[in-house]
Structure 1
Amino acid sequence: MPVVKEDHDIPVESDAGHVVDGTSRSLASESFLAHLLQIPCLIWAFTESNFITFVLPNTAFGVLGALAGPELLQNAAGAGRLTSATMLWPTLLAMAFNWTNVLIFDLQNQTAPQSLAEDQANKPWRPIPSGRITTQQARRSILVAIPLCLALNRLLGVEWEGLYIQIGSYVYNDLRGGDSRARDLLIAIAFALFNTASLRIAAGAGRADILLAPRPHDLAEGLPGRPAPPLQLSPAGCAWIGLISIVILTTMQVQDLKDQAGDRLKDRWTVPLAFGDWTSRVSLALLVPFWTGVCAYVWWPHGHWILVLPPVLIGALVTFRVLVKRTPKADSNTWKLWCLWGVGLYYLAPASLI
């Protein structure tokens, strides 16, 4: 019996009568794989500016709040408090929630007509101005991203927070709420929703219990893996998130200091443009120390006053920089430092238990 040697580089006749070149098919497969591998890079490129300043701080709020346990949550006493030894997986889940929802916001924001001109002038490295993806392709990707994101939100037990976030994203971007006087209020509400969901996820809320370790009382009852009663915010938890949202609302103008040229081009309403650069800086220099003191008073760790030093020192540095370091580059770094100051405030909740 003769042996037939297969050679995929030899043209073969398809059923349709067309000649298909094996080499061409191989190149097409490699091209598809290359495009597939670009997806993570594009996701990072769209969200890079908000990862350090939004995703990480919100994740930190959830994890640090979960470490405080019953102080901020109802039904937490029987569920067991999150500890440093068990915090990795809840942290990753909270980060996944924040990152996926921020991705949709950034896709909507960067494909909005009013954003394209600004990005061409001031942020040419972004995916659309740099030609890595077209506006139409980015808009189509939203059609895929939203259902996947909503499914993840439901799996994590925070579908309502996720739904309100998507509504807010539509109002901010498509209805141009982000260019109106309601901009800072919309951002503060978004922080409240993201922080609430992050806290519930990190503490094991709702269906997120299925993805976390079984609760101690479940194991005692012989029901491993059964979700504990859904964790809800306690009155103190609601008050804490409300206070942080007010802090953000009254100091959010720090992120507008670096973007005044672009905001003026877009005719966007911001505190620095409406009231003046110096007025905005002075208000920050007054409000940052004030809110640091208020939050430290709320969570004052009895007998451990040294634990309040991190937010105090970071807040003092923010105050110094907004008054002295006044270039766009310096303002950009001050904005990142402001985000770290916020994390310092979040840390006060678990620090009060030490």
Structure 2
Amino acid sequence: MTNNTVLVRSKEQVKKGNKNSAVILNALQLYDTAIYHLNTIWLFTFSDIKTIIVPTSLWGVFNALSGPCLTSNNPNNSASETRILKRIPLVVFWTWIMLLPFCINNQRRPEAIMEDKIGKGWRPLPAQRLTPVQATRLMYTLFAAEFVVSYTMSTTLPCIMGLVLGYGYNDLGGSERVFTRNLINSLGFSTFGLGASLVSMGSRHHYLNSNATLWFLVIGMVIFTTVHTQDMHDREGDRVRGRRTLPLVIGDHPTRWVTALTVTTWSFLCPRFWDLPWTGYVVPVAVGGSVSIRTLWLRSIKADKQTFQIWCFWTLSLYALPAVKHFLAEDKTSCGAA
């Protein structure tokens, strides 16, 4: 028996004066309302599950598992590794609660709603699941919530960095121009990675070392020079909004060649940074090669969406390299970047 069937029968009983049915009816209505609003909140971040939540959460876990390659921690035993893996739900939650108010801020303006009506009409605001005013109130409430969560998890710095970057991206027009768009994206990804790393380590006694600083700079450059892959399939929406993304500024064909060349280059440079054997090159080069080939040869909107998803997996293969380095090392107490 479905909730709707029970609801109809309860309404009939209420009309007959049945008090128990009135209680059931109120409970069911409350349940349906709660599910509706929870689904609304979920839809704000739905399109970012594969692009931000999963990759950056795993980035933090990989960093924590990399031992002395990136951290002060030496996970020489299964107990330490198990402790890190058990924190994955916390890492995902922190990433999501950080992302949620950013997404609301990004989607609440009239031009954003107009853009989403073209390709993402299921999002809460174009679908009229709530008003822009309600979304704004929810956003400010969640800003406070994310700060409290970050304070309890010792990730206040990434939280503040995320708030500043989000303000620049959404409120100061940073997303509207190529350079600032790519720059804030690269800093934003790194901020999420930093916070996820701190949550994964889960101890005030462990910290990221100097290798981590260099590695975050490398990954920041990777994102800065390749993140425009996300703009290839959304050119029509960007054009309507007046946003100047790389494909709209220099054209489709040049952008595809820029993407192919930079992805291929980083696919070799990142394993080289960690001085990995040939086995450490296999996944980044294979997945990066797929991104490059698809970018040049498959040019439909559907193909570009799929290519961007593969790009997300490619970045994940790069995030894993320090952990691969630690796993392959004979001496688990030391690690050297090239």
Q: TM-score, normalised by structure 1?
A: 0.82
Name which of 208, 214, 219 aligns with 1:233.
208
Question: What is the letter of the counterpart of residue 233 of structure 2?
Answer: K
Aligned mates of 2:15, 2:295 — CA distance in 1:
69
Instruction: Check the 8 A contact 1:67/1:82 in 2, yes or no.
Output: no
Aligned mates of 1:283, 1:177 — CA distance in 2:
22
- Indicate the residue corresponding to 2:175 in structure 1: 178
Instruction: Check the 8 A contact 2:177/2:243 in 1, yes or no.
Output: yes
Aligned mates of 1:57, 1:313 — CA distance in 2:
18
1:252 has 2:250 as partner:
no
- Indicate the residue corresponding to 1:321 in structure 2: 294
1:155-208 deviation digits (Å, cap 9, x = unpaired): 1110111111012112211222211341111111111111111112111243xx
Name which of 298, 303, 308 aligns with 1:330.
303
Instruction: Check the 8 A contact 2:101/2:140 in 1, yes or no.
Output: no
1:301-340 deviation digits (Å, cap 9, x = unpaired): 3xx4223211110001001100011011110110010010
Aligned mates of 1:273, 1:324 — CA distance in 2:
19
Instruction: Check the 8 A contact 2:271/2:280 in 1, yes or no.
Output: no
Shift of 1:38: 2.3
- Indicate the residue corresponding to 1:210 in structure 2: none
Aligned mates of 1:62, 1:122 — CA distance in 2:
31
Partner SS state of residue 92, structure 2: helix
Partner SS state of residue 289, structure 1: helix
The structure that is helix-richer by fraction is 2
1:308 has 2:305 as partner:
no
- Indicate the residue corresponding to 1:143 in structure 2: 140
Question: What is the letter of the counterpart of residue 315 of structure 1?
Answer: G
Aligned mates of 1:81, 1:166 — CA distance in 2:
36
Instruction: Check the 8 A contact 1:53/1:336 in 2, yes or no.
Output: yes
1:16-61 deviation digits (Å, cap 9, x = unpaired): xxxxx87666534432221112233222211111111111110111
- Indicate the residue corresponding to 1:106 in structure 2: 103
Name which of 195, 198, 201 aligns with 1:197.
195
Name which of 284, 292, 299 aligns with 2:274.
299
Q: TM-score, normalised by structure 2?
A: 0.86
1:350 has 2:319 as partner:
no
Question: What is the letter of the counterpart of residue 279 of structure 1?
Answer: P
Deviates more, 1:29-38 or 1:65-74: 29-38
Partner SS state of residue 154, structure 1: helix
Partner SS state of residue 129, structure 2: coil
Partner SS state of residue 165, structure 1: helix
CA 1:82–1:191: 2 relative to 1, 3 Å: farther
Higher-RCO chain (CA-CA 8 Å, sequence separation at least 6): 2
Aligned mates of 1:82, 1:300 — CA distance in 2:
28
Describe how 1:1-354 pairs up with structure 2 within 5 A: 27-74=25-72, 76-77=73-74, 84-181=81-178, 182-206=180-204, 229=205, 231-301=206-276, 304-353=277-326, 354=328
Aligned mates of 1:317, 1:330 — CA distance in 2:
12
Which has more radius of gyration? Answer: 1
Instruction: Check the 8 A contact 1:112/1:174 in 2, yes or no.
Output: no
Aligned mates of 2:132, 2:314 — CA distance in 1:
36
Partner SS state of residue 157, structure 1: coil
Shift of 1:136: 2.2
Deviates more, 1:320-329 or 1:170-179: 170-179
Question: What is the letter of the counterpart of residue 131 of structure 2?
Answer: T
Question: What is the letter of the counterpart of residue 233 of structure 1?
Answer: L
Aligned-pair RMSD on alpha carbons? 2.4
Instruction: Check the 8 A contact 1:62/1:202 in 2, yes or no.
Output: yes
Instruction: Check the 8 A contact 1:107/1:138 in 2, yes or no.
Output: yes
Structure 2 regions of 5+ residues with no counterpart? Answer: 1-12, 329-338
Identity of aligned residues (%): 29
Deviates more, 1:189-198 or 1:35-44: 35-44
Aligned mates of 2:80, 2:200 — CA distance in 1:
11
